[in-house]
Chain A
Amino acid sequence: MAKTQVPAVEGLFTMGDDPRLIGGKGQSNDSYFFPKNMGGNDPALIGETEREEVLLSNTGTIWSFTTSSYPPPKPYVITTEPFVPIVIAAVELDNEKIVVLGQMAEGITVEDLSVGMRVRMIIDVLFEDEEHQHMVWKWEPELSEGQN
């Protein structure tokens, strides 16, 4: 029986055909936040107690990138033995002017990456247990026109 796919943490992203990060936005200005209720407030929004919930751009450009070449400690769940280095990119989202960290899709190495490269968001497996696949957002290079 196929395992059920569930978000690794609730409320941070949508799944399905057009997955998006779930962010916050000021009600009276265009400052964005991810996750919606985490990170510092824009002091201009001191009078607002609620952020508007918005779906963030699913494309952006790589701001910087690196690897986690040694196994991270818990609560990260190691899925491969031996450990395969994780490739991590910080991506500036197209519309929100915010940089979000995420793993690159499986099989991408740092040699494949450059600052300024176009990427898009996908949903992929972070780890599995007996019943579930725990899903998370990752980045993959955006194919330019003419590529498939």
Chain B
Amino acid sequence: MDEIAILGVGMHPWGKWGRNFVEYGAKAARDALADADVPWEDIGLVSGANTVRNGYPGWVSGSTFANALGFQGAQLSSSYAACASGATALSIARAQIHAGVCDVALVVGADTTPKGFFAPVGEDERPDDPDWLRFRLVGVTNPVYFALYARRRMELYGDTPHDFATVKAKNSRHGVHNPNARYPKEFGVADVENSPVVADPLRLLEICATSDGGAALVVSSMDYAKSRGIKDPVRVAGISTVGPTYPNAVVDMPYLASDSWNAAGDAEHTFKRDIAQVAYDEAGVGADDLDLAEVYDLSSAYELDWYEYLGLCAEGEATKILHAGDTTVGGRIPVNPSGGLGAFGEAIPAQAIAQVCELTWQLRGQAGGRQVDDAKVGLSINYGMFGHGSSVICKK
């Protein structure tokens, strides 16, 4: 796959600001344009990642953000793929650049979130919607799924709640160096273990919060970058937006049941193992080539699953590389040097874009106190509810 260049990145800090999401996206976009030193008039495509909790403007985010910055005739796209929306929006920008539709594109996502658990959108009764059914009939919140996976790790691999708390403590040590993090605070294992249980065995400090925030990228063809005199930009070398292969034997949000592996497949099959491979193949790299990874730590224990899904270690060995310090900044393969979702909370349509912002800062050597030495290849990965995989590989 031909590469595209990342010319500029920008973020609005994560938090619980309670303002209009458009404000966060516009701020991030202006920062990305300034970082790229690209005039707004040059942007040929605005590719927005949608939010579903902010009314109609959220569903037409490409138009909303372009309008907020001032309509100048760019083409527009608005994408929704749950937590993977940002990667989808980036994939559309790449496709339109490669198609010759535009030379340079703005990718932007932002969200304003309600307090507390995510709940189904809308007040009506919808027995045909699995997202409605799981809340109505069983009371299954998102952390319930994270906890089922955590308990499964304890059963299969002997992981302990102490291991999970260690992940949170590690990421919090990274997050203190990130000015965009919502919780730039160091938490120890004891802090985690003293916080209340949300979904046994997971505690409050181990569960991703819902946050406000915004993130943006200015991306272009390699020729456009060259025309601006940028010789060695960070490049997007691979994007995965892959969906599952039947049967998904591990029950996933928002379903009440897994797929049946009776006629085909195996009992532990989950497509989360397949998400990164598409990006690895496009980029022509493997797990051993990575210098850092930004992974989707919806819970502390979930980060350990990603080590294995990415191939950073063998199945069941995640706690070994965690305790060896491999995944801490300074270690063999730092994971979530940004502080991850544990330090940010999630702003859904902005999150996958924010991951790419972090990869860019790391590969440029601009990550300050959380900098991974001599980083050349970075990967981000996440997963959008209902089966949207997403992974981006950047190179320098």
Contact = CB atoms under 8 A, between A and B. Distances in A.
Contact of B257 (A41, A70, A98): A98
B314 interface: no
Contacts of A26: 263
B134 A101 contact: yes
Contacts of A33: 257, 260
* SS of A interface (majority): loop
Interface in B37-51: none
Identify which of B120, B138, B196 gathers the most chain A CB atoms within 10 Å of its CB.
B138
Interface in A52-80: 63-70, 72-77
Interface in B88-141: 116-120, 123, 125, 127-128, 130, 132-141
A103 B151 contact: no
Contact of B263 (A29, A63, A99): A29
B259 A101 contact: no
A47 to B, nearest CB: 15
Given A67-B200, A70-B198, A126-B137, A98 B258 contact: yes
* SS of B interface (majority): loop
Contacts of A72: 117, 135, 139-141
Nearest to B261: A97
Contacts of A42: 246-247, 259-260, 263-264
Contacts of B199: 66-69
A136 B133 CA distance: 11
Contacts of B79: none
Contacts of A11: 127
A12 to B, nearest CB: 8
A68 B138 CA distance: 10
B241 to A, nearest CB: 17
Nearest to A86: B139
Given A64-B152, A88-B138, A31 B260 contact: yes
B262 A99 contact: no
A2 interface: no
Interface in B257-279: 257-264, 267
B136 A99 contact: no
Nearest to B134: A101
Contacts of A128: none
A146 B123 CA distance: 49
Contacts of B262: 30-32, 95-98
A41 B140 contact: no
A8 interface: yes
A88 B140 contact: yes
Contact of A100 (B144, B149, B200, B257): B257
Contact of A67 (B128, B135, B197, B259): B197
B260 A97 contact: yes
Q: Which 3 A-B pairs have the closest CB atoms?
A: A73-B119, A66-B147, A97-B262
Interface of A: 8-12, 26, 29-35, 38-44, 63-70, 72-77, 86, 88, 90, 95-103, 110, 115-116, 126, 136
